[in-house]
A and B are shown apart, each in its own frame.
Chain A
Amino acid sequence: MNFEAPVVDYAGLGPIMALSVGLILMVVVAAFDSIRRFGPALALLTFATTAGLLIWQWDANTELINGTLKIDGLAVVFSLLILIAAAGAVLTSIGDPSEKQIGRPDFLALLMASVLGMVLLTMANNLITFFVALELFSIPLYALCGTNLRRRESLESGFKYLIIGSVGSATLLYGMAMIYGASAATGFDAIAAGLTEGGLISDSLTLVGVGLVSVGLAFKISIAPFHQWTPDVYEGAPTPVTGFMSAATKLAAFAVFVRFFMTALEPMVNDWDVILAALATLSILIGNVGAIAQTSLKRMLGYSGVGQAGYMLAGIVVATQQGVDALTFYLAAYLAMNMAAFSAVIIHERRSGFSDSIASLRGIGRSTPIVAWPLTIAMLALAGLPPTAGFIGKLYLFEALVEADWTWLGVMIAIGTMISLVYYMRVVATIWMSPAADASLQVDETEIGTDLDSARRWYLVLPSVLGAAAAVFFGVIPQPLVEFAQHAGSAFSAYIP
Chain B
Amino acid sequence: MLSAIIWSPLLFGLISLLVPRRFAPWVAGLGTVVTLALAAIVAIGFDPAGGMQYVVDVTWIPGLGINYSLGVDGISVFLVLLTAIAWIPAVAFSAARGTDRAGLFYFMLLAGQTATLGAFLAQDLLLFVLFFDLMIVPFYFLFGIWGGDRDGVTASAATVKMIVFTLIGSLLMLVGAVAVGVIAADGGQLTFNMAELAEKGLPSASQNWIFWFFAAAFLVKMAAFPLHGWMPDAYRAAPLPALAVFSAVLSKVAAYGFLRVVLPIMPDATELFQTAMLIIALGSIVYGSVMAFTKTDLRLILGFSSMAQLGFIMLGIFALDSTGANGALFQMINHGLVVVPAFLIVALIVERTGSEELGPMGGLAKKAPVFAVIFLIVTMATLAIPGSPNFIGEFFILNGVFQVNVAIAIIASTGVAMAAYYALRMYQRTMHNPLPDGVDSREISLRDALIIVPMVLVLLVLAFYPQIVLGDTSPAVDQTVAVSLEASQ
Contact = CB atoms under 8 A, between A and B. Distances in A.
Q: Do A and B bind each other?
A: yes
B469 interface: no
Contact of B174 (A366, A394, A428): A394
Contacts of B62: 479
B171 A414 contact: yes
A417 B130 CA distance: 16
Interface stretch (B18-26, B138-146, B261-269): B138-146
Contacts of B130: 386-387, 391
A398 B175 contact: yes
Contacts of B181: 399
Interface stretch (A223-231, A246-254, A419-427, A441-449): A419-427
Interface string B143-155: 0110000000011
A421 B157 CA distance: 13
A93 B144 CA distance: 35
Interface string A26-37: 000000000000
Contacts, number: 100
B63 A410 contact: no
Interface residues of B, number: 37
Given A411-B172, A418-B167, A433-B145, A395 B137 contact: no
B163 A425 contact: yes
B164 A422 contact: yes
B277 interface: no
Contacts of A357: none
B156 A482 contact: no
Contact of A403 (B63, B101, B134, B182): B182
Interface in B162-219: 163-164, 167-168, 171-172, 174-175, 178-179, 181-183, 190
Contacts of B140: 425, 428
B52 interface: no
Interface in A379-430: 380, 384-387, 391-392, 394-396, 398-399, 402-403, 407, 410-411, 414, 417-418, 421-422, 425-426, 428-430
B163 A399 contact: no
A421 B166 CA distance: 11
A395 B125 CA distance: 12
A402 B160 contact: no
Interface in A326-359: none
B86 interface: no
Interface in B31-64: 60-64
Contact of B160 (A399, A407, A422): A422
A486 interface: yes
B133 interface: yes
A482 B163 CA distance: 28
A95 interface: no
A14 interface: no
Centre residue among A395, A433, A434, A482 by max chain B CB count within 10 A = A433
A479 B63 contact: yes
Contacts of B182: 399, 402-403
A482 B164 contact: no
B456 to A, nearest CB: 34
A59 interface: no
A482 B66 CA distance: 12
B70 interface: no
Contacts of B155: 433
A9 interface: no
A103 interface: no
A62 to B, nearest CB: 26
A483 interface: yes
B156 A402 contact: no
Contact of B178 (A366, A380, A399, A417): A399
B178 A410 contact: yes
Nearest to A476: B60
A418 B157 CA distance: 16
A348 B74 CA distance: 52
A387 B167 CA distance: 14
Contacts of A407: 175, 179
Contacts of B167: 385, 417-418, 421
A398 B178 contact: yes
A414 B60 contact: no
A310 to B, nearest CB: 15
A207 B172 CA distance: 35
A365 to B, nearest CB: 8
A402 B171 contact: no
B113 interface: no
B175 A411 contact: yes
B319 interface: no
A478 interface: yes
A432 interface: yes
Given A396-B64, A414-B172, A482-B61, A434 B133 contact: no
A429 B160 contact: yes
Given A407-B175, A418-B167, A421-B163, A385 B133 contact: yes
B340 interface: no
B159 interface: yes
A478 B179 CA distance: 21
Contacts of A380: 137
Given A398-B175, A433-B144, 15 more contacts: A365-B145, A380-B137, A385-B167, A386-B131, A398-B174, A402-B175, A402-B179, A402-B182, A411-B172, A417-B167, A421-B163, A429-B160, A433-B145, A478-B63, A482-B63
20 contacts: A365-B145, A385-B137, A386-B133, A387-B130, A398-B174, A398-B178, A399-B181, A402-B175, A402-B179, A414-B174, A421-B164, A421-B167, A425-B140, A432-B141, A432-B145, A433-B154, A478-B63, A479-B61, A482-B61, A486-B63
